[in-house]
Amino acid sequence: MPTSFTTQRSILRNVVLGGNVQLTLDELLADADLTYRGRPETNGFFQISLEKESDYQYAGKGTSFATEARLIAQSSAGEINARVDDYLAGWFLAMVMGNDAFTAGTPNIHVLTWRDTGEPAQVTNIYIEDSPGLKRKFQDMSCTKVVLSGADKGSIMAKASFIGTGRYTDGAMTTLPAPPTAQYLYGSDTIVSIGPAGSPVSMAPRVLSFEATFDHANDLFRSCGGGVYPVFPRYGNPLCSLKLVVAIDTTSDIRDWMMNQTLLEFKLVTTSGAAIITIDYPNVIIPKSDLGETDKYVTYTIELDQNAILKPSGSEVCIVTVKNTATAYLVGA
């Protein structure tokens, strides 16, 4: 058939990440440094963006149309949407937050906190197979935002956004890592506790859903003399936010906490098999709790932003603890 060709099904794409971070920009990691073969949704693609300038708006061409265009900037960006397992829970949040205090044991423990600086962001390679003709390692990729969402059934979902300098290297990995035996983390296993700071109590089974956002607002630093590629990705101002939908019972607890501006602690603990992730916001003041309807019943929607999630003196604004079998994240290759 002269007009036929082999189409590329998105379900056959491959994404490989994990392992080490780069020690220098433009570093091409060895295949052995990329250890985690993901099972992402099929619709998260990584793109190279080319910025051009032309003579379209300039006179002297003898025509109203552009006659030439030149490359002035290059960058990359991508998104991974996936079910959260024991490895990804730590890798995504370590990459976006910037600090991993690691303790080896059974299980291994990762305490993840914000790297609250203006220094260059941690970067790594991400290998993507979009088709037999598009197999590439994207270099200098930094994780700028992660959103975790969970509900009454099914896996916790992650939406992770990346930006990079636009550098990439074509070529296939010699051998793809085997897909891991994943321990997924489930929204139905998540206990949300709320109460006065230092003594939160379980709100189960009233919490219907949650959405926790970790946004480091990374940007691509450019300067004169930097050339076409950005000089480096850098951390911006870190932001935490949290959204909960909570069923109302016979009390007015959440309304009272809001009206009294009570200093609270919010803690989310997910235990699925041997995998555990704890997200702790030790100092929170509820700014509003909107009343609404969920499946014919009255609920509160609590939305906490950077003005409501506060940093205690001598502690962290948010502490994430992940227990799994993974070794330390953010180790240079």
pLDDT in tens, 278-290: 999 999 999 998 9
pLDDT, tens digit (0-9, with 9 covering 90-100), for 109-166: 999 999 998 889 999 999 999 999 999 999 999 999 999 999 999 999 999 999 999 9
Q: Could you tell me what percent of the chain has a pLDDT over 90?
A: 94
Mean pLDDT of 213-218: 97
DSSP state for residue 318 in the 8-state scheme:
-
72-76, 94-98, 277-281, 290-294: range with lowest mean pLDDT: 290-294
Q: Which of 79, 114, 98, 95 is nearest to 19 (CA)?
A: 95
d(CA 142, CA 132): 26
d(CA 239, CA 256): 26
pLDDT at 177: 95
180 compared with 234, residue with greater pLDDT: 234
> For residue 70, how many other CB atoms are within 10 A of its CB?
8
What is the band of 1 on the pLDDT scale with cuts at 50, 70, 90? low
Mean pLDDT of 239-264: 96
What is the band of 178 on the pLDDT scale with cuts at 50, 70, 90? very high
> For residue 14, how many other CB atoms are within 10 A of its CB?
18
The most distant pair of C-alpha atoms in the chain lies apart, rounded to whole Å, by: 78
> For residue 111, how many other CB atoms are within 10 A of its CB?
15
Mean pLDDT of 223-228: 95
pLDDT beyond 90 at 261: yes
> How many helices and strands in the chain, by DSSP H and E?
2, 22
pLDDT at 50: 98
> For residue 18, how many other CB atoms are within 10 A of its CB?
21
d(CA 265, CA 17): 34
pLDDT at 296: 93
How does the average pLDDT of the chain come out, rounded? 96
Whole-prediction pTM value?
Answer: 0.95
Q: Could you tell me what percent of the chain has a pLDDT over 70?
A: 100
pLDDT at 222: 97
d(CA 102, CA 26): 27
Cβ contacts of 247 within 8 Å, gap of 6 or more: 206, 207, 208, 294, 297, 298, 299
Q: Is the peptide bond before 233 cis (omega within 30 degrees of 0)?
A: no
Q: Which of 329, 328, 326, 333 is nearest to 30 (CA)?
A: 333
Mean pLDDT of 87-95: 97
pLDDT at 45: 95
Q: Which of 157, 125, 123 is nearest to 143 (CA)?
A: 123
Per-residue tokens: 26: 């433009």
Instruction: Please say whether the beta carbons of 23 and 332 come within 8 A.
Output: yes
pLDDT beyond 80 at 303: yes
How distant is the alpha carbon of residue 118 from its chain centre? 19
